[in-house]
Structure formats: structure tokens, C-alpha cells
Amino acid sequence: MTATTTPAPAGSPEPTELGPGESPEQAEFRAEARAFLTAHARPRQAASPWAVTMHRDRDAARAAFDRGRAWQGTMFAHRFAGLTYPVELGGRGGRAWHERIFQEESEDFDVGSGFISSTIAMLGPTLMQHATDAQRAHYVPRLLSGEYAFCQLFSEPGAGSDLAGLACRAVRDGDEFVVTGQKVWNSAAQFCNWGMLLVRTDPDQPKHRGITFLLVDMATPGIETRPLVQATGAAEFNEVFLHEVRVPAANVVGEIDGGWGPARTVLSNESAFIGGGSKAVGGRFPRLLDLAELHGRRADPAIRQRLADAYIRERVIAAMAERIMTAVRQRQAPPVDPSALKLFTTESRVRSGDLAVAIRGAAGTAGDDEIAVWTQAELLGRYSVSIGGGTTEVQKNNLAERALGLPREPRTDHQLPWKDVPRS
Ligand SMILES: Cc1cc2nc3c(=O)[nH]c(=O)nc-3n(C[C@H](O)[C@H](O)[C@H](O)COP(=O)(O)OP(=O)(O)OC[C@H]3O[C@@H](n4cnc5c(N)ncnc54)[C@H](O)[C@@H]3O)c2cc1C
């Protein structure tokens, strides 16, 4: 993919102060990151604070996806992608603080990789943990550069929360698997050229076994992607139909029939990313404050109370996310179960959406001026994080069973062969 280099306009932000206790090495990297961003990105002031990432227009959605992908290519070309990944895989061989400093510096610029950053966060650690050396050498540089844009082909009409019940079938035929089935809710699949796909390879084993994790080229014959239009008018996810799709056995990540392991790694990193690693989720407080100012509601005690609540929640999320993401960036086990972070973030999104509407009033959510569109996106989009990446109820189960060691939910189908599990 071609990297873009956008010259910085006049009036780029001034260099930031060095953080207290920053080492010379860290200060040097901060200056290097700043110079790169100044040379290749627009300062954030030029972008409207009310801009939304939701696009009703399909061409605009594709253009936004392509911009994110191109920015990933630019970072890769200048060694600012995959900062903690090994140099021989296209990364920088850096530490978690490299990521933190780069993110801090990026805050002042109107840049981001959008969807691409989520797949790197999910698939990167999975490849590092479960792929072969040859697979890592092939896929990691292409993932980090955005040349391969991966969608997640996990959920099915009958397998969302109960993902291990999935039915998409793959049958071995020589050096290939032949895949037939349906996936659903696949974010950005209409724009991605690769997919991470979960398939059922052994229906005689219990449901968590007999699943295989495949990487699939979306241009393979037999794959049809149909966008789904949401209440917002945007089509952010898709149905994906697979009919006798031939996938090389060399594309299996982990063991054949042992795909639940890499799938769990993807899901844990997804929770961490949605909870705190994603710029798209956090940082609503400044706009809520501006909204209260615009509507003369800053002195309203009830609104002030809720603004304070939003501020405190965002600080707590930032602190928790920093601890978790520091571990994730170094591909270590997180000190806190990412489910806790995702739950907290989810609750915050719902409260912020409610507050935006409370400040602006019901009438303010209608119309198509940019603040109305932002408020609509807050209102309608606030539940997306409580469903995507595992629902709130499922995260609570995970937290109870994995982190707190509480008794497991009663299960009747755990030891049954998948083919004998009753299905609707
Ligand atoms: C914004 C967004 C993006 C997404 N992107 C992708 C993607 O890229 N790729 C992909 O594969 N999927 C994606 N999904 C799908 C997502 O993973 C599923 O929607 C989610 O796992 C829930 O599954 P479901 O929709 O089938 O709901 P169901 O599993 O049918 O759940 C219905 C309700 O029952 C509750 N429930 C289910 N089981 C239990 C239980 N054991 N205990 C208590 N309550 C329970 C749920 O919490 C929920 O309220 C996305 C979803 C959203 C909203």
C-alpha cells in the first residue's frame, strides 16, 4: 500500500513539555515522534470537536476507512507502527512507553488509523502468541502496515454470546479447507481484504474443541459480503456468506481443532481495546462541558453533578486502561481482567449519551447541524460498546468466573459432542 505524506500546514502545535522524570531516551523519542507528526499530519485544532466517526454515506465511510489505512502505512514507512513489535517483523522493538508517548503526542494531531488499529490490537498479539514463525514473518509486517486489513468473522446468527456454538463448517480436502456457512455483524468486512475466521472442523468434539482459526483472503471465490444498515443510517457491519470457500491449511493459526485458544486471545485483546485502548471510546467530557456551556446549563446543579461524574469516570478509565494497555503492548497478561475495563467503559458511554440528551433536550437531537449529529451518534451509538466484543451480561459472567473465581454458570452442553447440542 502506498504511504501518504501530507505536508503540515503553518501553525503546527508547539512541542509539549517533557513529562516529569522522563529519561533522555524518552525525551528523544518524544521529539522524534513530534517531528514525524508535524511533518505528516494536520494539527487537531483544524478538525471540528463535533466530528463523528459514523458515516451514513457509503463513499464517505470507505474514504474514512482508506484514510485510516493510509495513515497506518505512513506510520509503518516511518517506523512508528507496531512500536513494541520486533524490528524483524516491521516493528520498532520498543517498550510500552514508546506507545504511550506516541499516543500522547498524537492527541494534538488530526490522525488515526480507525478500524485498522482495532484489528492490529486484536490480531497482533494473537499472531505473536499462536502463529508459526513463518506465519508471523508473513502476516505481522502486512498487518502493521495496513496492507492486510483484517475483519473479524466470528459471530453467526446462532452464535454470538455463545460463540463456541458456531456452525460455519470447514471440511479438509488435501491441502485446503472447504468452508461453507454464514457470519454476521462483521465490522468493516466490506472494506477489508483479509478476515480472521472461526470454523467448525470437528462436529464430534464438544463445542469448545473442534473449532479452527483460519486467516482468509476476502477475494477468495465463494465469499459474499452484504452491508447491514443500522438505526443511525450507517452500514458499519455486514453479513458474510461463505459458499465452498477454499482456504489453504497453511492459513490455520494454532492447532487444527484448537482454534478456541487464539479466539480467546482475540476476544481478550478486543475487550482491552474497546475499554481503553481506543481513542474513539474515551474523551467525551470536554464536549459535554462545551455542550453545557452552549446551552447555558453549566450552573444547573443536576447537570454539574453529572458532569463531575463523567469527569471522574473518564479519569478512572484512563488510569485502568493505562495499566492494562501497558501489559497488552508488551504482550503480557493484563493485571486487571479487561472485562472490568470494558464494563466500566460501557456504563460510562451510556451515562454520557444520556447526559448529552439531557443537556441538549429532546428537540436538540433532531436536525442535521453537526452538534445534533454528534448528539444523535451519542444517543444511538452508546449501546454498540455494550454489545460489540461481548455483551455486558457476558462480560459480567467472565469477570465472575475468571477473575473472581465464583461458581460457573450451569452448563448442560459442555461435554456433549457439538453435533448433539440442541439448536434452534
Ligand atoms: C458494534 C458491534 C460490532 C461488532 N463487530 C463484530 C465483528 O467485527 N465480528 C463479529 O464476529 N461480531 C461482531 N459483533 C457481534 C457481537 O460480538 C455480538 O453481537 C455479541 O457477541 C452478542 O451476540 P448476539 O448479538 O448474537 O446476541 P445474543 O448472544 O443472542 O444475546 C442476546 C441477549 O442475551 C444475553 N445473554 C446471552 N447469553 C447470556 C448468558 N449466558 N448470561 C446472561 N445473558 C446472556 C446477552 O447479553 C444479550 O442481551 C459486533 C457487534 C456490535 C454491536
Q: Per-residue pLDDT tens for 289-331?
A: 999 999 999 999 999 999 999 999 988 888 888 888 888 777 7
Q: What is the structure's pLDDT at 10?
A: 35
The pLDDT of residue 47: 67
pLDDT at res. 13: 37
Rounded to whole angstroms, the Cα distance separating 319 from 252 reads 37
- When pLDDT is averaged across residues 340-344 and rounded to a whole number, the result is 88
pLDDT at 242: 98
Catalytic residues, which ones?
270
Q: Whose CA is nearest to atom 3 of ligand 1?
A: 388
The three-class DSSP label of residue 355 is helix
- pLDDT tier, 250 (very low <50, low <70, confident <90, very high otherwise): very high
Q: Which residue has better confidence, 130 or 315? A: 130
**Residue 375, ligand 1, Cβ within 6 A:** no
Looking at residues 71-75, what average pLDDT do you find? Answer: 98
State which of 134-148, 220-234, 353-367, 400-414 shows the largest mean pLDDT.
134-148
Q: Stretch 26-46: mean pLDDT, rounded?
A: 92
Q: Name all domains of the chain by residue range, CATH numbers in brackets.
A: 24-113 (1.10.540), 150-258 (2.40.110.10), 281-390 (no CATH)
**pLDDT confidence of residue 147:** 98
- Average pLDDT of the chain is 89
Phi-psi region of 405 (alpha: psi -120 to 50; beta: other; left: phi over 0): left
* Long-range residue pairs from 58-66, CB within 8 A, at least 24 positions apart, any chain: 58/227, 58/235, 61/191, 61/234, 61/235, 61/236, 62/191, 64/114, 65/114, 65/115, 65/149, 65/188, 65/191, 66/191
* Whether the Cβ atoms of residue 74 and residue 38 lie closer than 8 Å to each other: no
**Is residue 14's pLDDT more than 50?**
no
Say which residues have a Cβ less than 8 Å from residue 296's Cβ, sequence separation at least 6: none
> Per-residue pLDDT for 5 more than 60?
no
Candidate of 213, 218, 387 to mutate for ligand 1, largest count of ligand atoms within 8 Å of Cβ = 387
238 Cβ inside 6 Å of ligand 1: no
In short, whether 387's Cβ falls inside 6 Å of ligand 1 is yes
